[in-house]
Each structure stands twice: as structure tokens, then as C-alpha cells.
Structure 1
């Protein structure tokens, strides 16, 4: 008989084995929710000096916890993981930094009396939870500087330096401004802390912004077997670090929209900076140019004469971030020639998928000054450059000007509303994509400029495809992409070494969609249609945007994506039918070919309702009203029982007084057509064998996914009056 796997996670085990026994027991006894089990651990702990008793007690705890399931132990495992994160490596210094700022002398003495870092972390978690969480925020902020998806750095051009510390920040005013710009429905809190200088970072100020996220929901399977919906507002957090010497704002947060708006609010309220005249500078560094050449041109910069500009250091990652290859040379060396001589003409630097570090040396003199000067520029990844900490404003300006001339630097530039409206249809296409990655070729096909989207924050550059699928001439399959001697092109080689021709290099560049920013941009363009606004995320594919109409005739307006996917349609149909108390509404969708109704709502493809009147509205209000008016009767269930097809594989079941049901696939459509025919003929019961004929299933239930079947049973379909029969529920 197979032995049952131990459900206890590694962090719980480590805490039991390594922590002082009374502290370990106290952590494991915590319950932070009604759904967490009661472990019933022994109340009395042995004397820590009695090693044998302590060892027995540890084994006893392990034995007790082993009787619980993995899911029941997960909350305790997560708490133990958090505690251990602040007891190891840089987590120790993060906790110590915040403790020094917040603890009273008595608290400081108590935590210092703990025997080791793990016990100090546990003590803080048990006794000063707010300080522990602030230390977590600080620790994550330092870590996420290298985590591009959650981190942004902005530069602010101040007219004069401002002496600033945590005490000078009006936390209440800043919280009020952030609440306004994020359109929050709940209270936002701001906490400011001074960060001392370290070897890696100058003196800084950290702000922890805690706020509620968009209202969301999850399905709940109750003890009685019925399904319900739990609505909740997830706790969100943004951590901002301002370094006065760099005039730099760094922000960690899940959403790029939150990162920019919190940064703008801080600059406006705390630094008194006019962001309307001088927006925060959001820089991105593109190192892909070094795939084709490590040589740098000598550009003309007004007021400066450049003598030398050379790459002295280059570092690439080999498939995984932990594997890297670096080459360093002296300033008198030609790094291009060195790489070719020792690594081969087609060396790895030419074929690099991504560069993680480039070091550049510049020798120059200012016009009218014979003194030779030097400037070292180091770019690390897409968001970091040592110029940000250069104290000389002239050198900073020169460095950024050079990076711009070499095509390495691009600065954030908000796309104005007029340009956004002009590209609205293409942005909707992007928003409807299944994947978050796109190629330069796709962007070119739909008429979008990737560089402009990168400047506007909607895209981030990733790397270049090294293998692609082609169907051309005698080659059908994967081809390998290699550099070409033709500028702007790459060469393709077939699986047997055959020449597959040259292709534009720009078409094979890969880009990452900033999904949250893209969603915010698309929804912002539609909001002028709404009478009342207030986004509520119901699902990753569905957002409640607000209402249209006047009091007493308000219509909820949703925005749905991926309605070309049957699984998404089923999911959202169930979700919207559960919200039928909201009344008949409008579901705007980025998909063109889809159902006419989804739940008790009229589906309106936005791309077929664009405004051509040159006004601020991207959608035609009159066209929307007409579509809603013509579809309203069907959304209410229609005037008679019917199956309305919108294609070979999709249809809506209409029953007066009920929300239409989206049915997908030939089997589902065939089953409901037979039930509707029987109902209209006055003999509603249909024998199972007749109902499933030509469907390939053994029962009607097998034609539906389990969640959908559970939602329609006894609502749209039910067992007949005689065993072995089914009927429509009318």
C-alpha cells in the first residue's frame, strides 16, 4: 500500500525545527479566518533548555499537523514563508532598518533579546504586525528593482532641490490625492519612512500606500452543496521610494496604471511639481542594437566634442537569469574585434536573445575648454542606468543625449487622446488577444508603431524570435533565424541547412503587452459614454464599467474580451445570469463574431459601432442605442420560446421571463432544439434516447461542462414527469 505523502510544507517544517519552541507554537496556533482549521496544539511548551523534551514536542506538533490536508495547512505555510523571508539574507537588514525607525527603546530591547534572526522575525510578526508588514514592503521594494513587471522608475525635473524627509510629508493630503486619481471607493492610507544610505543606495524616503483594489468576486461552494458568490475588495499595496539626490521616484505595484498615477500624485503633492508642464520622465533602455554591432558612432552634441565612445563591457543571459556570459576589455581595445577573434565570427554576442548589462566609456571636452573629460555609462536591463545617480547635471544630460542618439534610450511620452482615438480599433484588437506577447510583424499588419506604444507604456520590448514557422516554397516548418549582412534583415535557415531567405528583423521582434495599462486605456476611451462611472473587475475577461441612461432607466455597461472562445462565453454567461437583478444591460465586446445576448444583456461589438463624427466619443451613442433597442426583447427572454442561432456553433436559448442562455456546439444546440420543438408541439417530455440521438453522448449532461450543467439543471432543463424523459423548464 502506498504511503501517504506528508502534507506539511517546507516553511512550516523549518519553523518547527529551527525556531524557539514557544515561538514556533505561537505562530502555528494563529487562525486568521473562519475557514482555517483549529490545530488544537498543546498549550504548555517545554523548557527550551530541556533538549529532549523540546525534541519530543517538535515531533508531536509534526504528528498533529500531518493529519490535516495540504489545503488546510496552506495559510500556515504562507505565514511561515513570510516570517522566514525576513530572517534570511537581505530580509534581516530590511527588518532591522524598519525596526530602527519605528520601535520604542523598550520594544528594541525585547526584539534584540531574541536569540537569532528567525526568532526576531517571529517576535515582530506576533507582537508588532504593522512593523513586520512595513518591513516586508521595504524588502519587496528593494527586490523588485530587478523585477520588471512590478517596478518602474521615474525621474522628476525639479527647478531646485528640496530638502525632504519623512516628517515633511503630509500623509493625509497625499492619501486624499491618491484616492482621487485612482478613483478609490475605500479609504487609502499612506505611511512615510526615512531610509538610511547603504553601499548600494543613497538616503531615501519610502512611502507605503495601502488601498482597496477593484471590487471582485469568486464562486463559493457552500456546505449545503449550493453555489454562491462572494464579493470582496482585495487589499492592494504600492511602495514608493524617493531618492532626493537622484531626483528619482521608484514604485513597486501590480498595475502600471497605479505606478504612474501614484508617482504623479507624489510629485504634485509632496514635491510641488507641475506634472502638466513637465511630466515625470519614464525611461526605457533597448540594448538589442548590440546584436548587430558593438561599435558606437561619434554623434554630434551641441557644446561638446566627443573623442572616444566605446563599449568596454557586455553581459548577456544564457536562457535563464542565473546564467550569464560577460566580456570586458580595456579602453584601447576594440571589443568587436576581440569578440570576433576569440569567440568566433558568429559569436554568442551576435546571437544574444537579451543583453543584461552594457558598459560604455566616453572621452570628451566641452566647447572652448581644452580639458579632457571622461564619462562612464552603465545600462543594466531595460530600466536601470547609472546616469540616474550622477550628481553632475551636465554629465547626466550628455549621457542621456548620447544614449538617445545611439537608439538605446526611449523616454515615456503619454499618447494624447486624439492619437489614442485614432488607433482605438487596433488597441481593441490587442486587448482581445489570448496571449500577452506580440511580434513586430503582427503590429505592422494592424498598423501600429511599436516604438510609439513603448513610449506610451502599452508595450515592453522583450527579445527576438530565434525560431519561426514558415510555409514558403519547399520549406514547411521551423526555420532558424540568424544575423544577416543586409542591414535591417535576418536570414532564415531550414531544418536541413537550406536557405529560407531573408526577413525584416523588425517583424521578428517580440513585445510584452502591459495588459493593465492597455485595459485602462481602452476603457478610458469608452467612459465618456457613461452616465455613472466606476470600474469593477468581475473576471479577468469582464469589467463592469458603470451605467448608461437616466435615473430609473439605467443600463449596466460591461466590457468583455475573448468572446470568440467558447469556454469564456460559458464562464461569462453563468456570471452574468447570476447578476440578472441588475436588469438588462449592454456587454461591449472586442470580439466581432459572437452571440447577440450574454445573460440578460445585449452584446454589442465595439468595432462595428465606431463613431465617424469626429467628436470625443469613440463609439456612436445613437448606434449603441439602436442595437440595444432591437436586442432588448431577446435579452429579456423574447416573446416566445426559441433557439436563435448566431452561427453553426453558437446560439441563444430564449424563454420569456428568463435570461437567455448561451449554448455552444452542435450537441448543445441539437438538444435544446428538440426540447423547444417538443414544448411548442404541446408534448414537452422528450425521451433520453431521442434527445441524444446523433450527438455521441450517453446523456444530456455529458454535452455540457460540469459548472454549466449545474447552473442550468432545473432552471432551463429538467427531468420529465416520467423516468427517462427530459423537458424544457418554462
Structure 2
């Protein structure tokens, strides 16, 4: 007989096996919420000198915990993982650094008395929780440069250097400033900590900003069997590091708006920097220029004479970012000649997915100084460069000037509001795409400038297409992209070696859409429509923006994308019908096609109702009012059951007193067409054979996804009075108890 798998996770096991037994028991016995079970762990920890008794006690802990399932053990497993993280590798260094600054003398003595890193981590968790949590933030901050999508670096152009430490930061004033800038609904807290200099980084200041996230909700199954909704505000955190020596602000947070807002608030409040007059410089390193050549010219930089500049190291990724190729040469080698000699003229560097590392050696001297100097610049990816930690301010200035002259350093520039308004239609179309990558050709067709969007943070370069489709003489196929020798153009060659002609290289470039920033930009331009703003992401394709006022009542406003996709429509319609307590709302759709309703909400295609020439909201308030008043009766179900089509594969069922139901696909539409027709004829029951005639299935259930079917059964469709019959559920035929069981309550 197979042994039952243990529900105990690896981190709990590690804690029981490795930690001092009294501390391990204390952690596992801790409860941080009423929903956590009481494990009733054995009392009476044995004497530490009795190894046999200690081992027996450990086994007893395992036996008791094994009686619980994985869900009940998950909180203890997560706590154990956090504790082990600060006890291993650099985790204990982070914990010790914060403990030195925050613990009292008595606490420090007790902390140092612990026998090993694991015991110190457990002791801090149990006795100095705030210090433990700040150490977690510090530990994460030391690693967050690897998290590209969560990380940004800004440079502050101060008139003079400011000697700043954590004691000079007014934490309360900065918290109020961040609360104002981010328009937070609840107050945030700021904690400043000094970071000592290390071999890799100069002395810095770390700020831990803790704030509430957008209001969210989860479904809760009540003890009485009914379903309710728990509303809560999740805790969010942003970590900022300011390095005075290089005047650089680094921020890690899950939202680009939060990263930029926190950085700007810190620059204004703590550094006295006027962001409105001189915005922060957002650093990005673009290495795509090395596709065409690994050689560097010698630019003119005021105050310096550049005598030589060459690439000595180039690392590329092959196919994906787990495979890499590194070419490294001596200082007197020409890396391009070496690449062409050993990797052939059409070498892999021109076809790589992307550059992950470039090493540059620069020989120079300062004007008026005959001393020859050298500067090594190493760029790793799009956001990291060793110049950031160079202690010589003159070398940092020279290095960044060279990167700018070579077109490698691209600074963030906030796109002018007028330009954003002019390109709003194109930004909505871009945001409505299924894929996260977009070609330069598609951007050109939309009339968008990739460089402007990159500088504005909306796009990132992701390499170049190696294969394109060609269509010649009524035959299509794939063609490889080759260098042409003509600046700005690439040559295409089909599978038989036939020349496919030239194409603009810019059209073949690939870019990745920064979804978070693009979403924030589009939603931000819709805010003038609202009287109450409530940023709440319900689904990756659906957000609650807030509310507006129509006819004296507050009407919820949503934003949805990808409503051209039938699966997305089905999923979002189900979500909206489950949260219909807010009444009839308006869904601003990024799609030009799609259903007329999502749940009890009117869908308004944005691109058909734009007003981009004059000042004011990008969508006139009058358009909202007209759509709302015109469609309000049907959003409430209408006066009689009916099926209204909005496309060949899309329709909506309207039943008095019920939220409209979106139908996707011809089978679903046909089924409800027949049910509505039967109801109107006075004989509502339809035999299943007649209902499914010509549809290729035996039951209406097979036309719907499982979750959708569960949400509509006995609400929109039910079995008839006789076996083998189905009928439309209307106010006259539905049962009150079935309907009430599906209504959500606020908890």
C-alpha cells in the first residue's frame, strides 16, 4: 500500500530539523489570523542537552502537523520560508545591518546571544517584527536590480551635492507628499535606513514605503453555505535607494506609476529638487546599435580628448535568455574583425535575440593634462551600468556623455499631454492587442514614433525579426533577413536563395509593450470623466475606474479591452454578472467590435466616441449620458425576453429583471433564439432534440464552458416540467430560492 504523501512543506521541515527546538515550536505555534488553525503542538520542550528527547520532540511536531492539510499549513510554510531567507547567504547580513540600527541595547544583546543565523532570524521574527520586515525589504532591495519589470533608475540633476543621511529625511512629511502624489485613499508610512558602503556600491539611503493598494475583493464561502464577498485593501510596498555620490534614485515597486511618483516625491521633499522644472532622468541602455557594427567612433566631449574607444566584450542571447554567447578580445584587437573572421561575415551578433552585456574600453586625457587615462564601461542589459557605482564624478560624467553620443543611453522624457491626446486613439489600439510584442512596421502604420514611446516608457526594444513572410507571384513563404550594405535597409532571401528585395530595417525591429505603464497612461486620460476615482483591476482585461454622475445618480465606469475575443467576452461577462450589486454601469471598450452589454453594464466603444481636438475629456460626457439613457431599459432586462445580435458570433439575451447575458458562438445564439421563440409562442418547454437540431451535440450544456454553464443554469436556462425538455427562465418560471443563492452579500 502506497504511503500517503506528507502535507508538510519543505520550509517547515527545514525549520523543525535545523532550528533550536524551542524557537521552532514558537514559530509554528504562532497564529496571525482567526482563520489559521490551532495546531495544539506538544508543550514541555525537553532539555537541550538530551539529544534523544529533542529528536523525539521534533518527530512529534512532524506527526502533529501531518494531521492537517496543505491549505491549513500554508501560512506556517510561508512564515518558515521568510525566516529561512534571512538566515541564508546574504540574508543574515541584511538582518544584522538593520538590527544594528534599530534594536535597543537590551535587544541587541539578546540578538547577538542567539547561537546561529537561523536562531537570530527566528528571534527577530518573534521579538522584533518591524526590524525583521525592514530587513526583508533591505534584502530584496539588494537584489531588485535583477527584476527589470519592477525596477527603474532615475538621475537627479542637482545644482550642488547634498550631504544626506537617513536622519535628515522627514519621514512624516515625505509620507504625506507620497500620499498626495499617488492619490492614495489611505495614509502611507516611510522608513529611512542608512546603507553603509560596500565594495560594489557607495553609501546610500534606503526608504521603505508601505501603502495600501487598490481596493480588492475575494469570494468567501460562509458557514451557512451561502457565498459572500470580503472587501480588503492589500498591503503594497515600494523600496527606494538614493546614492548621493552618483545622485541616483533607484526604485523597486510593481507599478511604474508608483515608481515614478515615489522617486519624484523624494526628489522634491528630501532633495529640494523641482521636478516640474527639471524632471528626473529615467535611464535606459539601448544596445541594438551593436547589431550593425561593434566599432565605436570618437565623439567630441567638452573638456576631454578621446584617443581610442573600442568594444572588448560582447555577450548575446541565443534563441532565449537561458543561452548565451560571449566574445572577449584583447585591448589591441578589433572585435568586429575577430567576429567576421571566426563567425563569418554574416555573424551571429547581427541575428541575436538581444545583447546582455557590452564591455567598452576608452582611452582619453583631460584638456590641459598630458596624462593618459583609461575608462572601462560595462553595460548589463537595459538598466544596469558600472558607471552608476564609479566613485569618480568626472569619469561618471564622461562615461554617460559617451553613452549618450553613441546613442546607447536613452533618457526618459515624459510625453507632453498634448501629444498624448493626439495619439490617444493609437494608444488604445496598441493596448487592445493580444500580443505584448509589436513590430516597427505596425507602429509606423499606426503613425506612432517608437523612439518617443521608448523615451516615454511605453515600449522597450526587444531585438529584430530574423524571418519574415513574403508574397510573390501568388505564392507565399518565409524569407530570412540579411544585411544589405545599404544604411537603413535589410535584404530578404527566400528558402531557395532567391533575393526577396529590400525592406526598411526599422520595420523589422521588435518592441515589447510596457503593459502597466500603457494601461496607466490610457486610464489616466479617462480620469476627467469621473467624479470619483477608484483604481481597481478586476481582471487583466477589465478595470473599475470609478464613477460619474448621470441624471443625479452615480454610475460605475469600467475599462475593458480585447472584447473582440469571444473567450474574453465570456469570462468578463461572467465576472460582471457576479458583481451586479452596483447597478447599471458603463464599460468603456478599447475594441470597436464586441457585445453591447457585459452583465448589467452598457458597453460603449471608445474609438467611436472620441473628442481629441478640443480641451476636456477625451470622451465627451454627453456620449456617456446618451449611451446610458438609451440602453438603460435593456441593461435592466427590457420589457420582454429577446436575443439581440451584435455580430455573426456575438449576441445578448435580455430577460426582464435579470442582467443581460452575453452569448458567444452560433450554437449559444441558436439555443437561446429557440428558447425565446418558444416562450413567446406560449409553450416555453422545448424538447432537447428540437432545441439541439443541427448543432451536432445532444445537450445545451455542451455549448458553454463549465463555469459559464454553472452560472446560468436555473438562472437563464432550466429543465422543463417533463424529462428531456428545456425552457427559458423568466421572472414567472424561476424560483426565488435558486436566484437568491446566487446573489452576493457584502461581508
TM-score (norm 1): 0.94
Cα displacement (A) at 1:356: 2.3
Find out whether 1:81 has 2:81 as its counterpart: yes
Q: Which residue pairs with 1:664 in the alignment?
A: 664
SS in 2 for 1:270: helix
- Determine if contact 1:653/1:662 at 8 Å carries over to the other structure: yes
The range that moved more, 486-495 or 415-424, is 486-495
Q: Which residue pairs with 2:50 in the alignment?
A: 50
* Distance in 1 (alpha carbons) for counterparts of 2:181 and 2:309: 44
CA displacement, residues 239-285 of structure 1 (integer Å, 9 cap, x when unaligned): 01111111111111011111000000001111111001111111111
* Distance in 1 (alpha carbons) for counterparts of 2:444 and 2:501: 20
The range that moved more, 476-485 or 555-564, is 476-485
* Distance in 1 (alpha carbons) for counterparts of 2:219 and 2:58: 38
Q: Which residue pairs with 1:381 in the alignment?
A: 381
Find out whether 1:719 has 2:719 as its counterpart: yes
Question: Using a 3 Å threshold, how does the CA distance of structure 1 residues 669 and 319 change in structure 2: closer, same or farther?
Answer: closer
* Distance in 2 (alpha carbons) for counterparts of 1:692 and 1:221: 35
Q: Which residue pairs with 1:637 in the alignment?
A: 637
Q: Which residue pairs with 2:745 in the alignment?
A: none
- Determine if contact 1:256/1:514 at 8 Å carries over to the other structure: no
Cα displacement (A) at 1:159: 1.2
RMSD: 2.5
Question: Using a 3 Å threshold, how does the CA distance of structure 1 residues 493 and 71 change in structure 2: closer, same or farther?
Answer: farther
* Distance in 2 (alpha carbons) for counterparts of 1:499 and 1:195: 59
- Determine if contact 1:313/1:327 at 8 Å carries over to the other structure: yes
Q: Which residue pairs with 1:253 in the alignment?
A: 253
* Distance in 1 (alpha carbons) for counterparts of 2:210 and 2:697: 52
Cα displacement (A) at 1:23: 2.2
Cα displacement (A) at 1:437: 2.3
Q: Which residue pairs with 2:131 in the alignment?
A: 131
Cα displacement (A) at 1:658: 2.3
Cα displacement (A) at 1:230: 2.9
Q: Which residue pairs with 1:113 in the alignment?
A: 113
- Determine if contact 1:215/1:538 at 8 Å carries over to the other structure: no
Q: Which residue pairs with 1:160 in the alignment?
A: 160
* Distance in 2 (alpha carbons) for counterparts of 1:551 and 1:240: 45
- Determine if contact 1:362/1:375 at 8 Å carries over to the other structure: yes
Find out whether 1:438 has 2:409 as its counterpart: no
- Determine if contact 1:609/1:624 at 8 Å carries over to the other structure: no
The range that moved more, 275-284 or 482-491, is 482-491
Q: Work out which structure has the larger RCO, using CA pairs closer than 8 Å and 6 or more positions apart in sequence.
A: 2
Find out whether 1:710 has 2:687 as its counterpart: no
User: Where do residues 244-393 of structure 1 align in structure 2 (5 Å cutoff)?
Assistant: 244-318=244-318, 324-367=324-367, 370-393=370-393
The range that moved more, 287-296 or 310-319, is 310-319
Question: Using a 3 Å threshold, how does the CA distance of structure 1 residues 465 and 117 change in structure 2: closer, same or farther?
Answer: farther
Q: Which residue pairs with 2:427 in the alignment?
A: 427
* Distance in 1 (alpha carbons) for counterparts of 2:441 and 2:224: 53
User: Where do residues 308-707 of structure 1 align in structure 2 (5 Å cutoff)?
Assistant: 308-318=308-318, 324-367=324-367, 370-468=370-468, 476=476, 479-492=479-492, 494=494, 502-549=502-549, 552-611=552-611, 613-707=613-707
SS in 2 for 1:382: coil
Question: Using a 3 Å threshold, how does the CA distance of structure 1 residues 138 and 274 change in structure 2: closer, same or farther?
Answer: same
- Determine if contact 2:181/2:261 at 8 Å carries over to the other structure: yes
Cα displacement (A) at 1:136: 0.9
* Distance in 1 (alpha carbons) for counterparts of 2:60 and 2:147: 41
- Determine if contact 2:675/2:686 at 8 Å carries over to the other structure: yes
The range that moved more, 698-707 or 672-681, is 698-707
Question: Using a 3 Å threshold, how does the CA distance of structure 1 residues 510 and 69 change in structure 2: closer, same or farther?
Answer: farther
Cα displacement (A) at 1:286: 0.7
Question: Using a 3 Å threshold, how does the CA distance of structure 1 residues 321 and 14 change in structure 2: closer, same or farther?
Answer: farther
Find out whether 1:195 has 2:195 as its counterpart: yes
Question: Using a 3 Å threshold, how does the CA distance of structure 1 residues 18 and 295 change in structure 2: closer, same or farther?
Answer: same
* Distance in 2 (alpha carbons) for counterparts of 1:73 and 1:503: 59
Q: Which residue pairs with 1:206 in the alignment?
A: 206
Cα displacement (A) at 1:329: 3.5
* Distance in 2 (alpha carbons) for counterparts of 1:727 and 1:31: 51
* Distance in 1 (alpha carbons) for counterparts of 2:702 and 2:225: 20
* Distance in 2 (alpha carbons) for counterparts of 1:504 and 1:224: 66
Question: Using a 3 Å threshold, how does the CA distance of structure 1 residues 226 and 441 change in structure 2: closer, same or farther?
Answer: farther
Cα displacement (A) at 1:498: 6.1
Q: Is there any run of 5+ residues in structure 2 with no aligned partner, and where?
A: 731-747
* Distance in 2 (alpha carbons) for counterparts of 1:571 and 1:218: 17
SS in 1 for 2:175: helix
Cα displacement (A) at 1:458: 0.9
Q: Which residue pairs with 2:9 in the alignment?
A: 9
- Determine if contact 1:216/1:539 at 8 Å carries over to the other structure: no
The range that moved more, 617-626 or 78-87, is 617-626
* Distance in 2 (alpha carbons) for counterparts of 1:507 and 1:662: 39
SS in 2 for 1:549: strand
- Determine if contact 2:421/2:612 at 8 Å carries over to the other structure: no
- Determine if contact 2:357/2:378 at 8 Å carries over to the other structure: yes
CA displacement, residues 553-573 of structure 1 (integer Å, 9 cap, x when unaligned): 222111111112222222222
CA displacement, residues 222-244 of structure 1 (integer Å, 9 cap, x when unaligned): 55554433322211100011111
- Determine if contact 1:463/1:510 at 8 Å carries over to the other structure: yes
The range that moved more, 249-258 or 63-72, is 63-72
Q: Which residue pairs with 2:744 in the alignment?
A: none
CA displacement, residues 578-618 of structure 1 (integer Å, 9 cap, x when unaligned): 33332222110101111111122211110111115422432
* Distance in 1 (alpha carbons) for counterparts of 2:31 and 2:188: 26
CA displacement, residues 437-486 of structure 1 (integer Å, 9 cap, x when unaligned): 22223222222121111100111222334445555569755555454544
* Distance in 2 (alpha carbons) for counterparts of 1:45 and 1:723: 66
The range that moved more, 664-673 or 295-304, is 295-304
* Distance in 1 (alpha carbons) for counterparts of 2:314 and 2:78: 39
Cα displacement (A) at 1:382: 0.9
* Distance in 2 (alpha carbons) for counterparts of 1:493 and 1:20: 68
- Determine if contact 1:475/1:500 at 8 Å carries over to the other structure: no
